[in-house]
Amino acid sequence: MRRFTAFTIACLPLLFVTACGKSSSATDAGAGVPVSVAVDHRQPSTTLDSTFAGLSYEKRVLTLPLFSASNAPLVALFRRLGPGVLRLGGNSVDETTWTPGGAGLVSGEIAPADVDRLAAFLHAAGWQVIYAVNMGTSTPAVAAEEASYARQALGDRLLGFEIGNEVDLYRGKYRPATYDYAAFRQEWESFATAIRTAVPDAVLTGPASASHVSTYTVPFAQDEAARIRLLTQHYYVGNGQDPSSTIDKLLQPDPPLTAELAVLAAAAHSAHLAGGYRMAEANSYYNGGSLGVSDAYGSALWVIDFLFSLAEGGASGVNLHGGGDGPGYTPIANDTAGNIVAARPEYHGVLLFALAARGQLVSATVTGPAINLSAYAVDRSDGSTAVVLVNKDRAQGLRVSVDVGRPLTSAQETMLTGPALESTTGVQLGGAPVEADGGWSGAATSLSVSGTGTRIDLPPISAVLVEAR
């Protein structure tokens, strides 16, 4: 489990063996403060695979030539993360109209050609999709017609349908000021019934709430347990337009998130939902992100912690929202013609997580001085253990002794670095950036091992994936 350390070295038993065959100490730590990490395999929890860390886009991108099998750079960037889950929704889902006779690539309209193009992209990338239909400005009959076509065109690439977006914010926008959960539920059921009539095997998800966990998401899980497979919620750390939405805030523990995850996990468990719960839309700061924060290197370190926090909280996955090439959040930046501009810093953090997250989450406990370090571990099916360390301190390097708890024959590290937390360029993973075309020449570096341990020098503001076997 993640630990933000607040311990002293004096209470640490000499359990961690370094490559030199002796315990780490202040005298041999060089420039790094000595810290120890212990992996405990006894209580594995969440099973992780490449579907955990997905991406989310506004549905309006279907009217751009973005999700196309011929968009080789985007296909390559998706494939590099492994077979995953794309979610198409956002505010624009309630501002686009299903137009069965449309030509496609027309703003505000979703035509059969747009869905066909998406299907080809998903097959090329090896991903599935949570596909949202308009509830805010549409009708059950129109939504059912679109769902029927999408089911036929997408086939096994379709994971499920989402009905509307952030329905808890409809009041005063698409609906009168008196609109409440009871009115929403009645309306949602009319859409769900129409969709299920047109597509009997339709998998439904919901409610896609912006917040209001206790008044929308929790009762929805109980009330619609027989209709939905997956409970969905959205999460952002704060408002990107608020001056307090800084990098330093982003890189601190987030107690409200921990509390919310516990509530969502309990709701999904009580409702016996096969798919559990998923953060179907999330990122750093909402309203597009915070300039020089959401698009900067600090977001790469944040997203690693965020993804592992969700895994520790029992989520079945997350979809990181993005799209466009503005100064805010998006893991992958694209222009209006569908061209890929860059793999942003956040993408590099997601890729490090994806490289690690192939197995069962186990406990990783940090012992050392009060530093902003987090640690995670994953037991893989091939017998290896992945340990991820994130040092968010701006100035302090660390000498980390890792005890994997099993005899080791080899270990290697893949380091994530950047010039500064505020840097929007210069990020490297394994010594190389991920290019806009999806290319990446990064490589792991061998580590010395002794017994059950290895040692890593972790610079300030860096993260590392240690793969030990």
- Confidence bin at 7 (pLDDT 50/70/90): very low
Does 4 fall in a domain? Answer: no
- Same-domain check for residues 421 and 370: yes
Structure confidence by residue, pLDDT tens digits, 317-338: 999 999 999 989 999 999 999 9
Does 3 fall in a domain? Answer: no
pLDDT (average), residues 368-384: 94
- Confidence bin at 12 (pLDDT 50/70/90): very low
Residue 112 sits in a domain whose CATH number is 3.20.20.80
Structure confidence by residue, pLDDT tens digits, 226-285: 999 999 999 999 999 999 999 999 999 999 999 999 999 999 999 999 999 999 999 999
Q: Any bridge partners for residue 343, and if so which? A: 332
Percentage of the chain modeled with pLDDT above 70: 93
Does 195 fall in a domain? Answer: yes
**Cα gap 367→337, rounded to integer Å:** 50
Number of domains in the chain: 2
pLDDT at position 19? 30
Structure confidence by residue, pLDDT tens digits, 140-149: 999 999 999 9
Q: Is the pLDDT of residue 13 over 80?
A: no
- Confidence bin at 6 (pLDDT 50/70/90): very low
pLDDT (average), residues 409-424: 98
- Same-domain check for residues 284 and 385: no
- Same-domain check for residues 138 and 278: yes
- Count CA within 13 A, CB hemisphere, residue 278: 30
- Same-domain check for residues 314 and 283: yes
pLDDT at position 149? 98
Single-letter code of the amino acid located at 304: I
Structure confidence by residue, pLDDT tens digits, 157-184: 999 999 999 999 999 999 999 999 999 9
pLDDT (average), residues 197-221: 98
pLDDT at position 11? 31
Q: Is the pLDDT of residue 312 over 90?
A: yes
- Residue whose structure tokens are 């090896």: 126
- Same-domain check for residues 302 and 420: no
Helix segments in 317-411, DSSP class H: 345-356
Residue 460 sits in a domain whose CATH number is 2.60.40.1180
pLDDT (average), residues 56-62: 98
- Same-domain check for residues 253 and 238: yes
Q: Is the pLDDT of residue 153 over 50?
A: yes
**Cα gap 154→202, rounded to integer Å:** 12
pLDDT at position 131? 99
Q: Judge whether 49 and 311 are in contact, CB under 8 Å.
A: no
Q: Is the pLDDT of residue 404 over 50?
A: yes
- Residue whose structure tokens are 């523990």: 253
- Same-domain check for residues 309 and 429: no
Structure confidence by residue, pLDDT tens digits, 20-56: 333 333 333 346 999 999 999 999 999 999 999 999 9
- Confidence bin at 370 (pLDDT 50/70/90): confident
Distance between first and last Cα of the chain: 20
pLDDT at position 249? 97
